[in-house]
Amino acid sequence: MKTNDIPENVLSKAREWLSGNYDAATKAEVQKLMDKEDSADLIDAFYRDLEFGTGGLRGIMGVGSNRMNIYTVGAATQGLSNYLKKAFAHLPEIKVAIGHDCRNNSRLFSETAAAIFSANGIRVYLFDSLRPTPELSFAIRELRLQSGIILTASHNPKEYNGYKAYWDDGSQIVEPHDRNIIAEVEKVKVEDIRFKGRSELIIPLGAEMDELFLRKVVTVSLSPESIKKQHDLKIVYTPIHGTGVKLVPMALAKMGFTNIIHIPEQDVVSGEFPTVISPNPEEPAALELALKKAREVNADLVMATDPDADRIGIAVKNDKGEFILVNGNQTVLIFLYYIITRRKELGLLTGNEYVVKTIVTSELAAEIARRNGVEYFDCYTGFKFIADVIRENEGKKIYIGGGEESFGFLPADFVRDKDAVTSCALMAEIAAWAKENKRTLFEILQDIYLIYGFSREKMKYVVRKGKTGAEEIEQLMVKFRNDPPKHLAGSPLEWVKDYETLLEKNLITGEEKPIHQKSTSNVLQFFTLDGSKVSVRPSGTEPKIKFYIEVKAKLGSRKEYDEVEESANQKIDLVMQDLGL
């Protein structure tokens, strides 16, 4: 290997790992990377430290400062411990909860973190086995803890793992705490990490917390009578090898559903995700086995959750009897339409309710709220920002739902992160309510478009891995910021919103307005005269730049659906061409 081809900061960090207080196996792996002719893996492993993004700490497992391993997990936990001891110095005891998903090393990382917290004198409530992310959030609130973490890489491929940190309200950490924790983590040297735990401070959490959580899940029900009449609705469910395996079927049963159909090979808990390429309910391939089963049994509804059971994917039968996947935006629309419609029918809309969506989520969600006199809030991508809106309105307004296009929804505020366990229970109820009213979920979606206008959305991402990839993504953002497209699909650009400057500008009139967000973010949005919207943002957790495209149309009747959908898809293709995608 030619060391002069490797950045000095990479060599410096790698040598620290070879000479520092790291175990022999780790040092041997670092040496292997240094001995390789191709230095790309070494550079990627050490060119930076993992940082908290929109989803916390996340990366490929392996040795190095840019990898998930016991030392990066250890530094994060030691830094978090140091910050908790400062932030809650007034308390006689600091308490945290720890959960983990099905991924390889998740249990190891969670036990490592438990030992470090306890070594720092912090009481730890450690789940006895894998649990959904929403239950970790719930447990923090239920036990009145100061913080919590869950070891998960959500829907990412099997080589990834991650570390989500939560604050005392059960939400993922936001400013200023995230910045302050990063500062503490950056001070930590390997010799500062207290790996030797105190077992007396580690308390197992098990079935008793599951029961408390499930009792809350059933409180979201708005149509219990529909479930009684349609209790034998055929529901195919898959956890895709993950943490939903027990709690989602238990939640459905507790709601009153009696006909839950499993995919046995995907009920197998495994960090290898043996039946799928990617355990992501956003990807059609992840639902192939569930859809096959649904066709065999003529199911009413197909549902899937990702490995940590915070994302929900669904499939429904269209007007031709074919199963189709419902995208994340459509899922949010169905939830909000149902919640608002039923609350109206039950006299539960007082005028003080609100919903939340992220800025990249369909504008139709805002339209549904507006037209029904329900306040709505826009926030940045990431459920920690939805939770931040809930925190700000605590005790003043009534939260009734919030979601984002990436298959996340939160039906109630007893959890402060996206919650696929409760969402699966509520979606099954919506299917039962629709069936009782002689409609299908597909017809519910069509009715939304007939009442509020038609929209079609597509997310396109460009992957650029490693250090050079990060630089390419940065240059793409500079290009779009300095030279936005003049037209999209033939319609002139009207407004540009730049969340880095918190200014929106009308390109036709020259008018400028402030954007009301508490902080800046590297996001651009383009709005055309005909109502199309494009959002551009680098991912906070993956080596991607994402383009969120939404186009509008008018649907006059259900019979026109296919034609309008096809026209909208063609328009999206034109927008992508104009963006150079």
Structure tokens at 400: 């009734």
Residue closest to 301 by CA, chosen among 284, 326, 276, 272 = 326
- Residue ranges of E strands in 405-453: 408-410
282 HSE (CA, 13 A, CB side): 16
Q: Which residue do the tokens 């893996």 mark?
A: 41
Say if residues 94 and 122 touch (Cβ distance below 8 Å): yes
Look at residues 111, 84, 104 and name the one whose alpha carbon lies nearest to residue 185: 84
Cβ pair 117, 194 in contact under 8 A: no
Going by the DSSP 8-state scheme, the letter that residue 221 receives in this structure is -
* DSSP code, position 70: H
Among 294, 249, 290, which Cα is nearest to 266's? Answer: 290
Closest C-alpha to 113, from 157, 82, 153, 76 = 76
Q: b/e for 72-106, b at 16 or more Cβ within 10 A?
A: bbbbbbbbbbbbbbebbeeeeebbbbbbbbbbebb
What are the φ and ψ backbone dihedral angles of 185, each rounded to 5 degrees?
-65, -40
Report d(CA 545, CA 543) in Å as an integer: 7
Cα distances from 14 to residues 21, 45, 60, in angstroms, run 13, 9, 17
How many whole angstroms separate alpha carbon 114 and alpha carbon 110?
Answer: 6
Which strand ranges, in their side-by-side order, compose the sheet holding 323-326? Answer: 260-262, 235-238, 301-305, 312-317, 323-326
Q: What is the DSSP annotation of 175-193? A: TTHHHHHHHHHHH--GGG-
The beta strands (E) that lie in 291-387 are given as: 301-305, 312-317, 323-326, 353-358, 375-379
Verify whether residue 154 is a known catalytic residue: yes
Residue 30: CB partners within 8 Å, gap ≥ 6? Answer: 14, 17, 18, 22, 63, 64
Q: Taking a C-beta distance cutoff of 8 angstroms, is the pair 519, 175 a contact? A: yes
**From 154, 221, 270, 406, the catalytic residue:** 154
Are 462 and 545 within 8 A, CB to CB? yes
Of the candidates 186, 171, 305, which has an alpha carbon nearest to the alpha carbon of residue 238? 305
Do 81 and 123 meet the contact criterion of CB atoms below 8 Å apart?
A: no
Q: Are 485 and 559 in contact (CB under 8 A)?
A: no
d(CA 425, CA 310): 13
CB 515 within 8 A of CB 491: no
Residue-level length of the chain: 581
| E strand spans, 142-282 | 147-151, 160-166, 202-205, 235-238, 260-262
Catalytically annotated residues? 154
